[in-house]
């Protein structure tokens, strides 16, 4: 069982790589392999829904998000994604409930907070919408900062970026002062 789980996670991570690059066919194929190996893989079902949403197949996306929630009711991203489908269809109350459920499961979730803020702005509650959008921005910065601090690879990349910026600044100063 451990080998199946490890293989499923390897395929899942490869699918995420392709999904990030909008290589939807490759990502879908890999996610289907994950689900063949581990039919209870809620995150893979959720990402399959993302693929359908990107293809504008909202019906199929909704089915995938609901299935992901059935597999893992605590998967905040599936609730947030389902909220996106509802918002796209103009079902404001359902979208709001889905985003709020995502936030109950993952307080401060930047994506759900942002999407709820957009929903409030579109419905005319500008103050509540702007407040949530600011909160989402702060939450995203906190998460990025936390990842930089906890992930040695990310920390190294950020350090290299600062070094490159410092070198560029020194070169510019040199040429400006010539």
Dump pLDDT digits (tens) for 53-91: 999 999 999 999 999 999 999 999 999 999 999 999 999
In sequence order, the 6+-apart residues with CB closer than 8 A to the CB of 102 are: 76, 77, 79, 80, 83, 109, 111, 112
pLDDT, greater one: 176 or 100: 100
Q: Which of 71, 94, 70 is nearest to 83 (CA)?
A: 94
pTM for the predicted model, two decimal places: 0.76
């Amino acid at each position: 069982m451990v080998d199946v789980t490890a293989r499923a996670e390897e395929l899942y991570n490869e699918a995420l790589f392709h999904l990030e690059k909008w290589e939807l066919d490759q990502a879908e194929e890999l996610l289907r392999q994950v689900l063949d190996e581990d039919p209870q893989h809620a995150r893979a079902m959720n990402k399959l829904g993302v693929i359908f949403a990107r293809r504008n197949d909202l019906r199929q996306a909704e089915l995938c998000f609901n299935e992901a929630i059935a597999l893992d009711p605590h998967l905040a991203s599936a609730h947030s994604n389902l909220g996106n489908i509802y918002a796209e269809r103009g079902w404001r109350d359902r979208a709001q409930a889905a985003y709020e459920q995502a936030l109950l499961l993952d307080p401060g979730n930047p994506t759900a907070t942002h999407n709820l803020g957009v929903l409030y702005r579109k419905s005319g509650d500008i103050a509540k919408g702007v407040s949530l959008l600011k909160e989402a921005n702060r939450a995203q910065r906190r998460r990025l900062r936390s990842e930089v601090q906890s992930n040695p690879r990310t920390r190294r990349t950020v350090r290299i970026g600062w070094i490159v910026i410092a070198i560029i600044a020194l070169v510019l100063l040199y040429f400006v002062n010539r």
